[in-house]
Structure 1
Amino acid sequence: MMKNTNYRLSASLSRFGIYLFMLIITLLVVIPIYLMLINATRTNAQINEGISFIPGSNTINNWKNLTNRNFQISQGFGNSLFIALSSTIIVVYFSALTAYALHVYKFKLKNFVWVLILFTMMLPGALSFIGFYQFVARLKLLNSYIPLIIPGIAAPAVVFFIKQYFSSTLSFELIDAARIDGAGEFYIFNLVILPVIQPALATQAIFSFIGSWNNFMTPFILISDPKKYTLPMLVQMLRGDIYRTEYGSIYLGIAISLVPIIVFYSFASQFIIAGIAMGSLKE
């Protein structure tokens, strides 16, 4: 009896420790975002006074500071949305196609290709940035969205993740059954396989969209036309000399840039939940 009591007490303490740790992590994530939203409603003087958890009443003036100083938010939204959605679709689809080929088919140099993908995944992206810029310049693709979208076809980390997902969930009997029914390989991949790996696709779509949306350095180096500036580039412009003291406007611009990320995550997370629920009911 004493052993059962001690076991229950130990289990309760462990559960409490886990919940406490999760609560601390949640607060560390939520509080900075909350403070950013609060500062977006405050005046510059109020922000300089220190931290506050109470919203201010200067949101309209902060918005006017953005719009009156040539902050083309709608244009930046459109540019960033086009780049993020296009690159996300390319990254997810072609990475899934590559992972499917590596998992299902047997061909020469298969192991070499897989090792090459793993090796490429370990290399830091900044290592090849100078060569990438020179390559884009020789192709005369500077000031174009093409270098921001098309390179997404080669995404080794996404290929690795989806291939591992294939290894744990994909049944070869499903593919054989589709082939027996006379389905072609692309038909099988597009209409049979993609719905099965929906949670993996949604997960990588979220990461790809956020990475592309928040990408500042690559567009900053490649894009010179102000009409093609992405939203992070426009937000970065708020830190120039003329905006040096407009902290409320800066916070408001950053807060606005987070809205599409939250919306896309809310949309894509539904597919993750649906896929998990469907998998839990699988016999």
Structure 2
Amino acid sequence: MIAVDKSKRLLIYVFLGILTLLSLIPFWVVLVNSTRSAEQIQQGLSLVPGTNLAYNWEVLMNKGFDVFGGFKNSLIISTCSTVLNVYFSALAAYGIIAYHFRGKRIFFAIILALLMIPTQISMIGFYQFVSKLGLLNNFIPLILPSIAAPSTVFFLKQYLETIYHPDLADSARLDGAGEIAIFHRIMLPLMKPGLATMAIFSFVTSWNNFLMPLILINDTEKFTLPMLIQLLKTDVYRTEFGSMYLGISLSIIPLILIYLFLSKYIISGVTAGGIKE
């Protein structure tokens, strides 16, 4: 039996290793192509880095690719959106779970209904609304709507159902803690795994957001990194694929870093032993 269990475990590890390798290959190909010339890329796939990184960087700069400006704009929008998204969604989810009020089920049903509405439907109306407010070419309409994130509220509400216990809040109230203090000092630390998970998704979604910034922003100095990548126009006689892959590589590096930073918080059993029966 022990030998059989070891064999099964080995097969599982091999299978997971293959899946991990398959998921990493596309990222590696993009990074490798950013170091190769256009002719080398057209010849076929290669997993060995080339020697054209400096040339691709020079071509990228000559095409007006403002790397640092794009990073700054994308970082401002993505960071602010993620913080607002996660915090207010956690606040709403905690309110749904911890308190009993009239219309609670209807309120949650509205959140579920909003999940089914594609964001593209509201783009025209949202553009007209932002235009009347005079907020075109501004980061505000790209940040503030993240406060209302039905998908994040739904996820955190479902997550809280697995970890929340009324005794935690009641004990804090007996010690004289207010409701806001209970949320910040007790509930937020307990929700770290769920918050980290949604922070990753929120940051990636905001960072890769292309259509809405393209509609609302016309000033090139406020372009995000995905918007700058689409400005890499190809020449009539030559397409610089290497510089295009380099621009794409620069845009995915922050996503990898934010995942590596937050993934350690995605663990299970955070509240194990937190309450004694």
Q: What is the TM-score when the length of structure 2 is the normalising length?
A: 0.92
Asked whether 1:233 is paired with 2:227, we answer yes
Task: Determine which of 53, 57, 62 is the counterpart of 1:59.
Answer: 53
- String of CA shifts for 1:130-178, please: whole Å, max 9, x gaps: 2221221222211111110000011011001101111000111010011
Q: CA deviation at 1:27?
A: 3.0
The 5 A counterparts of 1:73-152 are 73-152=67-146
Q: CA deviation at 1:39?
A: 0.5
Task: Determine which of 240, 252, 262 is the counterpart of 1:258.
Answer: 252
Q: CA deviation at 1:254?
A: 0.6
Counterparts in 2 of 1:242 and 1:80: CA distance versus 1, 3 Å: farther
Partner of 1:213: 207
In structure 2, runs of 5+ residues without a counterpart are none
Partner of 2:187: 193
Q: CA deviation at 1:68?
A: 2.2
Q: Which moved more, 1:189-198 or 1:232-241?
A: 232-241
Q: Distance in 1 between matches of 2:134 and 2:206?
A: 22
Q: Distance in 2 between matches of 1:270 and 1:128?
A: 36
Superposition RMSD in Å: 2.1
Report if the CA contact (8 A) 2:56-2:242 is conserved. yes
- String of CA shifts for 1:50-87, please: whole Å, max 9, x gaps: 11111110001111111122111000000000000000
Task: Determine which of 240, 246, 249 is the counterpart of 1:246.
Answer: 240
Q: CA deviation at 1:125?
A: 1.5
Q: Distance in 2 between matches of 1:245 and 1:227?
A: 25
Name the count of aligned residue pairs. Answer: 275
Report if the CA contact (8 A) 1:41-1:58 is conserved. yes
Asked whether 1:164 is paired with 2:158, we answer yes
Report if the CA contact (8 A) 2:89-2:148 is conserved. yes
Asked whether 1:42 is paired with 2:36, we answer yes
In structure 1, runs of 5+ residues without a counterpart are none
Report if the CA contact (8 A) 1:38-1:54 is conserved. yes
Report if the CA contact (8 A) 2:163-2:271 is conserved. no
The 5 A counterparts of 1:163-182 are 163-182=157-176
- String of CA shifts for 1:92-124, please: whole Å, max 9, x gaps: 000000001111111111100000001111222
Q: CA deviation at 1:190?
A: 1.1
Report if the CA contact (8 A) 1:239-1:250 is conserved. no
Give the 3-state SS of the residue equivalent to 1:142 in structure 2: coil
Structure with the largest fraction of helix: 1
Q: Distance in 2 between matches of 1:243 and 1:73?
A: 25
Q: CA deviation at 1:23?
A: 3.7
Partner of 1:203: 197
Percent identity of equivalent pairs: 49
Q: CA deviation at 1:269?
A: 1.5
